[in-house]
């Protein structure tokens, strides 16, 4: 399975979206997102795909668009999977990285599966209806990739557990 990296932009109050869109316009973040994800598969939920399609009139260009949805019908312009486990068996996935690009429900469900987190952190709060989940126990800060006026793009790495395997059940002792 390729490395799974979450990429997102978050306001100081954890908001990541409003009415299916970003509540801010930050060209540096959009440029970083495009340069980082270009040529790699991107994994998203149905609402995120529909938001992108509504804005661009097509899926994200230059990327294999993979949509994790229980209800979305098959499409010619995107790969639809019903479960996260299907990702590992998709034919033609040769990229060493898959980027998880949202939305809130998918971040909440899949962040524990991610190896890294690329997070644009905005200095101010925004009103919204979608929030980024708590991630601080899963990741530790690695580096600041870019600092700008009112934002930072940060790279986080998965925090390694001191317990590499789950506890054995009493019956197996």
Among candidate residues 64, 65, 35, 37, the one with its CA nearest the CA of residue 51 = 65
pLDDT (0 to 100) of residue 142: 97
Q: Domain of residue 57: give its range.
A: 29-134
In a domain, 164, yes or no: no
In a domain, 171, yes or no: no
What stretches in the chain show pLDDT beneath 50?
162-163, 168-173
Rounded to whole angstroms, the Cα distance separating 54 from 66 reads 16
What's the total number of domains in the chain?
Answer: 1
In a domain, 7, yes or no: no
The Cα-based distances of 137 to 13, 109, 153, 160 in angstroms read 18, 15, 19, 10
pLDDT in tens, 161-173: 644 555 544 444 4
pTM, rounded to two decimals: 0.91
pLDDT (0 to 100) of residue 62: 96
Provide the CATH number for the domain around residue 45.
Answer: 3.40.430.10
In a domain, 23, yes or no: no
H/E stretch holding 67 reads strand 65-68
């Amino acid at each position: 399975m390729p490395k799974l990296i979450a990429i997102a932009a978050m306001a100081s109050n954890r908001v990541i979206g409003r009415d299916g869109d970003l509540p801010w316009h930050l060209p540096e973040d959009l440029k970083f997102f495009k340069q980082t994800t270009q040529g790699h598969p991107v994994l998203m939920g149905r609402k995120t795909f529909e938001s992108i399609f509504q804005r661009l009139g097509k899926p994200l260009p230059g990327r294999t668009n993979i949509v994790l949805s229980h209800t979305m019908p098959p499409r010619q312009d995107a790969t639809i999977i019903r479960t996260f486990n299907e990702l590992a068996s998709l034919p033609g996935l040769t990229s060493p990285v898959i980027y998880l690009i949202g939305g809130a429900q998918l971040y909440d469900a899949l962040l524990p599966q991610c190896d890294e987190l690329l997070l644009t952190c905005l200095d101010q709060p925004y009103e919204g209806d979608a929030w980024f989940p708590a991630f601080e126990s899963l990741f530790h800060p690695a580096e600041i990739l870019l600092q700008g006026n009112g934002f930072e793009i940060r790279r986080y790495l998965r925090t390694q557990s001191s317990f590499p395997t789950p506890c054995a059940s009493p019956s197996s002792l």
